[in-house]
Copies of this chain bind each other. A is one copy, B any other.
């Protein structure tokens, strides 16, 4: 088998969120009746239930009318829009962001993540990633021929921090890891790293001269007034060794415009732009104009959106707690829950297919986030409230038919 065959074997997308129609369901055996109900796709948020920031489409149309200047921006994005968001991101994260040197606009935060990893991972490099974490993190290290050093996060052991194993992280740095990538809030569990955890991560990175990439995609949607800590605001790590990634695809529901941002290290941003020049040239020009609405939402819009999501979380948690054998930690930020299933006599991949066929509910198998999560699944509960609650009831009902 050739190098590329091996590489692409590791990049399987069949179980990735949004790809469910490509799954082979010929072998799946259903037990019992179809359970009727409004179909719910928990693999991503529902932008029909939670609509984009008001005025986003108007900003886009204005961009189209600006014409050529908006269609063809610098590869790192329109200068005036970088100015606009650099200021807002500096305020949000309490850090310094120069529009000219420290920021790049990308096609989604996925684009930012790809460029950041492509700019920092050389063949054979050891890269520390958290388990569980966003499914693409592992694939990115593999694509760039890095070596994954997993750092365990025991999210059930605590409810005052994320539960990352900091000893393991220091051991990884000692063993030569020069890059640490993690999402905060964590995807898939929805937990937040505590101020103490972030401080230690920053101190270790600084001590060992490592670069840190922090994916803060969901950091604006914080529940229960918890404290959120931006690593870039700690002023512990050399700012040239930190990249922060964020975007308006989740809480703000702008995913259809494919917009993301990376900010931090001027050297890494410069590389990211060079790479973007051969990857996709730039984030869609007209779409970039939509970023003007970001962090400029109407008064109260964000607070209401957070409250609505917290209410959905509470109802789903109550249902799961009442059901036998499920285990779940409450989401602290973002829209993900990562429940553990009771023991089943089918694999989690088959369970996911069964759910879709029998109950019109789409979820993402835990194994996308770490090989050991054969008993967990992720849901994005940014959905119509009532439909989400009914879908969780159907999940619980389906489980009854497949218990071990």
CB distance from A101 to the nearest CB of B (A): 11
**A residues 61-90 touching B (CB-CB < 8 Å):** 61, 63-64, 67-68, 70-75, 79
* Interface residue A302 (Cβ < 8 Å from any Cβ of B): no
| Contact (Cβ within 8 A) B278 A280 | no
| Contact (Cβ within 8 A) A107 B57 | no
Determine the distance from Cα of A281 to Cα of B19 in the docked complex, in whole angstroms. Answer: 11
**Which residue of B73, B271, B279, B285 is within 8 Å of A111 (Cβ)?**
B279
| Contact (Cβ within 8 A) A279 B277 | no
CB distance from A208 to the nearest CB of B (A): 17
Determine the distance from Cα of A72 to Cα of B145 in the docked complex, in whole angstroms. Answer: 29
* Interface residue A373 (Cβ < 8 Å from any Cβ of B): no
Contact (A278, B11) CB under 8 Å given A67-B48, A285-B255: yes
Number of interface residues of A (CB under 8 A): 67
Chain B residues with CB below 8 A from A48, complex form:
67-68
CB distance from A103 to the nearest CB of B (A): 14
* Interface residue A203 (Cβ < 8 Å from any Cβ of B): no
| Contact (Cβ within 8 A) A57 B64 | yes
Q: Mark A34-57, 1 if CB is under 8 A from B, else 0.
A: 000000010010111000000001
| Contact (Cβ within 8 A) B284 A258 | yes
| Contact (Cβ within 8 A) B71 A19 | no
**A residues 199-232 touching B (CB-CB < 8 Å):** none
* Interface residue A263 (Cβ < 8 Å from any Cβ of B): no
| Contact (Cβ within 8 A) A16 B123 | no
**Which residue of B21, B107, B136 is within 8 Å of A284 (Cβ)?**
B107
Determine the distance from Cα of A183 to Cα of B277 in the docked complex, in whole angstroms. Answer: 18
